[in-house]
Chain A
Amino acid sequence: MNSLRNFTACWVYNLARRREVSMGFSKERRDFLKASVAAGTALTISGWGFDSLLAASNKTLTFADIGVGDPGGDWSKFTKQTGWAVNLVAIGNAPSTILNVLIAGGGLKTYDMMNIVGGLQKPLVENDLIAEIDTSQIPNWQKNSYIQQYLAPGTPGFDFIGYKNKIYGVPTVLQGDSFAYLPDVTGPLDSYGALFDPKWKGYVALEDNYTTAGQKTALYLKKNKLADIKDPSNMTPGELKTVIDFLIEKKKEGQFRVIWTGFEQAVNLLMNKEVYVMDCWEPMVFVARNKGLNVLYADPKEGYLLWAMAAYIVNAPDRTAEKTKAVYELLNFMLGPWYGARITEMRGYMTNPQAAEYAKTHPDEFSAEEAKKVAEISDGVKRKFDKGGTWQNRWPAHVEEYESEWARFKAVRGS
């Protein structure tokens, strides 16, 4: 009995071993895998150690930015001036992303500053996430005539940087939005009506954002007396419903090809001539033109959608006084001439009044072409602000209505 059991066991065991060999998992391969696992573990541990080291080095400011405020990774001027390094981290622009990261994602401990599209003071301040800004510590603030002109307290522009009469954000970028179009196909266009013109049915795209696309539509309806809207930047639920009903009607007629959600997607739509008229941001036009496309950003008679980016100071619980001073220096730097000129040149937005002059007078850092570009962009945006329009409202009073109405627009079955 015993021997039979032993025999069976032996036979089965050998069968297993033979199968193992025929599986093709040779010793060489097993060794290779073992080595790579070991290497991987070593890499993991070393990476972990490396980053604790980095965190320990305390002369770094961590700066969350949506991508617009990144001067190509070159913070050397700032570091040379102050001795502090800047660690830029990408962050999304959606209010929830920002709040989630700050509240739940440990953002308060990690970030020192945030550079996002302004107008979010209400939720940020009420959740105690950002600190009031002491403008006396920012010399470039006084030199910034744009702030006095366009963002003064009491004006809608102030809502991009302030709350309850206190300043919370530093306006690093200013811009006015309208829409883009392909002149070779459509001829000159000068009204938001082009977005809803049946001539371009199926060749129009809107941004998936009720504070931009929605507000521009409201501006259009109001200025052309197609709807009774008092203030496009802060609509009542009733006015909002009118706007959305209008959009739904157009959607059912097949007016829109797509509602875009990403920069890349928007540029693509133009480049591939998938659409002819598109509600978008001006930098997309710059990028497309760079790639050789003849596309123009419109100068609509109804005016522009004005907005500003705000750099906020995150309310980190235990930031040293030294670090806070460095943060103010960074804010000052961002309102400064070199940063302004670089950002204008790279991204196509207007920054501060010193930028154009700086670019012209520093040919070693900015070529003549670049300086010209900076001057043109700054002039262009100034014109927009003078023309006016409506200030974008990132957090309208009835923001939930906005959200659910926009959801209604999206959910309705098109043609």
Chain B
Amino acid sequence: MLKKNIIRYVLFLIPPVFVAFFLIVPLAFTIVISFWERVGFRVRPAFTLNSYIDFFYGVRLLVLERSFLVSVEATIISLLIAYPIAYFLAARVRTALGRNVLLLFTIPFLVNYIIRTFSWTYLLGRTGPVNEVLVNLGLASSPLDWLLYSDFAVLLGLVTSYMPFMIFPLWLSLSRIDPQMIEASWLLGANPVRSFLKITLPLSVPGIFASVIFGFVGCFGESAVPIILGGVGYQLMGNTITSAMDVLNYPLAAAMSSVVVGSMVLLLLLWYFAFDMRSFLGKILS
């Protein structure tokens, strides 16, 4: 009996140990590097805050701000688009059909996302189809410049990249809600809107959380979309870190990376302490 339990425990511990070994240790190493100093091309173990000072007092801080703002915007927009879809497919449509429609959402991802993002430059350009249609229909007097190489384009690229990802956890969460509970609430006199706000929405919070994490972190670390669709010199954290590495300034890259990771971990901790896990993990923890 004990032997069986040990086997189970060992098995259960594999995933966390796997991640700890292949991620936490390397990351800790990165943090250590951020304190090292540079000697020519090499880095030498030391303890200096130079890299952090460089980062916080330099122009790159603007990029951090921008990454944060853009990620929040993109995530909120994606959520607002994805939720109704997930709700409709989960609540009003047969499971089988819902699953198939979801599959349709995943097909675009089998086309390399660089090619997909790049297609937008073709579509949104000054001489591209969208502008042609707009001008022909008289909706615009001349081709719109702000469709491409602008904040708008980057948001568009981010939303089309991450929104489909976000539908899936929302759908999973919503489709598990027992319709009897909604019926009960109707029977008790609440109108559909109230039932939604008081019952469906709170119960779908686990799904919302999962999808927000997907969206926000994904956008934050993006480096291809800003390059392909962004305006003059538009960059997010992924780009600055890479460009710091380009001149072998590993401590600076490590410092920026650690700041990003640090702030994300802060968010994670916030969730850990503020959010009652029981409601999320539900009956799993019984």
User: Taking beta carbons and an 8 Å cutoff, which residues of A are in contact with B?
Assistant: 23-24, 94-96, 99-100, 122-123, 126-127, 202, 208, 251, 256-259, 261-262, 264-265, 268, 272-274, 399-400, 402-404, 406-412, 414
- Give the nearest-CB partner of B38 in chain A: A400
Q: Are A404 and B58 in contact (CB under 8 A)?
A: yes
Give B68 Cβ to nearest chain A Cβ, in Å: 15
- The A contact surface, by secondary structure, is helix
Q: How far is the CA of A273 from the CA of B228 in the complex (A)?
A: 17
Q: Are A274 and B127 in contact (CB under 8 A)?
A: yes
Surface stretch bound by A, among B71-79, B183-191, B239-247:
B239-247
What B residues does A123 contact at CB under 8 A?
41, 248
Q: Are A95 and B233 in contact (CB under 8 A)?
A: no
Surface stretch bound by A, among B59-67, B158-166, B209-217:
B59-67
- Give the nearest-CB partner of A127 in chain B: B41
Q: How far is the CA of A95 from the CA of B126 in the complex (A)?
A: 34
Q: How far is the CA of A412 from the CA of B243 in the complex (A)?
A: 16
Q: How far is the CA of A257 from the CA of B247 in the complex (A)?
A: 26
A411 touches which of B62, B230, B249 (Cβ 8 Å)? B62
Q: With A95-B248, A407-B240 given, is the CB distance from A258 to B118 under 8 Å?
A: no
Q: How far is the CA of A259 from the CA of B226 in the complex (A)?
A: 11
Could you name 16 residue pairs across A and B whose Cβ atoms are closer than 8 Å?
A: A23-B95, A96-B242, A100-B245, A202-B145, A261-B228, A268-B125, A272-B122, A274-B126, A274-B127, A400-B249, A403-B246, A404-B59, A407-B60, A409-B233, A410-B234, A410-B235
Q: Are B245 and A411 in contact (CB under 8 A)?
A: no
Q: With A408-B59, A411-B60 given, is the CB distance from A257 to B149 under 8 Å?
A: yes
Q: How far is the CA of A330 from the CA of B119 in the complex (A)?
A: 39
- Give the nearest-CB partner of A251 in chain B: B232
Cβ-based interface call for B42 (8 A):
yes
Give A253 Cβ to nearest chain B Cβ, in Å: 11
Per-residue CB contact flags for chain B residues 105-142 toward chain A (1 = under 8 Å, else 0) read 00000000000001001100111100000000000000
Q: With A99-B248, A258-B231 given, is the CB distance from A264 to B41 under 8 Å?
A: no
Most chain A beta-carbon neighbours within 10 Å: one of B118, B228, B233, B234: B233
Q: Are A411 and B248 in contact (CB under 8 A)?
A: no
Q: How far is the CA of A100 from the CA of B245 in the complex (A)?
A: 9
Q: How far is the CA of A274 from the CA of B147 in the complex (A)?
A: 12
Q: With A265-B228, A272-B122 given, is the CB distance from A259 to B127 under 8 Å?
A: no
Q: Are A265 and B60 in contact (CB under 8 A)?
A: no
Q: Are A258 and B40 in contact (CB under 8 A)?
A: no
Per-residue CB contact flags for chain B residues 205-231 toward chain A (1 = under 8 Å, else 0) read 000000000000000000000011011
Cβ-based interface call for B6 (8 A):
no
Give B21-74 interface residues, CB cut-off 8 Å to A: 40-42, 58-60, 62-63
What B residues does A407 contact at CB under 8 A?
58-60, 240, 243
Q: Are A251 and B125 in contact (CB under 8 A)?
A: no
What B residues does A126 contact at CB under 8 A?
40-42
Cβ-based interface call for B96 (8 A):
yes
Q: How far is the CA of A50 from the CA of B227 in the complex (A)?
A: 37
Q: How far is the CA of A412 from the CA of B127 in the complex (A)?
A: 28
Q: Are A403 and B41 in contact (CB under 8 A)?
A: no
Q: With A410-B235, A411-B235, A414-B231 given, is the CB distance from A258 to B149 under 8 Å?
A: yes
Q: Are B121 and A259 in contact (CB under 8 A)?
A: no
B122 touches which of A257, A268, A273 (Cβ 8 Å)? A268
Q: How far is the CA of A412 from the CA of B121 in the complex (A)?
A: 23
Q: Are B127 and A273 in contact (CB under 8 A)?
A: yes
What A residues does B245 contact at CB under 8 A?
96, 100
Q: Are B244 and A403 in contact (CB under 8 A)?
A: yes
- Give the nearest-CB partner of B249 in chain A: A400
Give A248 Cβ to nearest chain B Cβ, in Å: 10
What B residues does A99 contact at CB under 8 A?
248
- Give the nearest-CB partner of B96 in chain A: A24
Per-residue CB contact flags for chain B residues 88-111 toward chain A (1 = under 8 Å, else 0) read 000000011000000000000000
- Give the nearest-CB partner of A404 in chain B: B58
What A residues does B59 contact at CB under 8 A?
404, 407-408, 411-412
Give A332 Cβ to nearest chain B Cβ, in Å: 31
Q: Are B247 and A400 in contact (CB under 8 A)?
A: yes
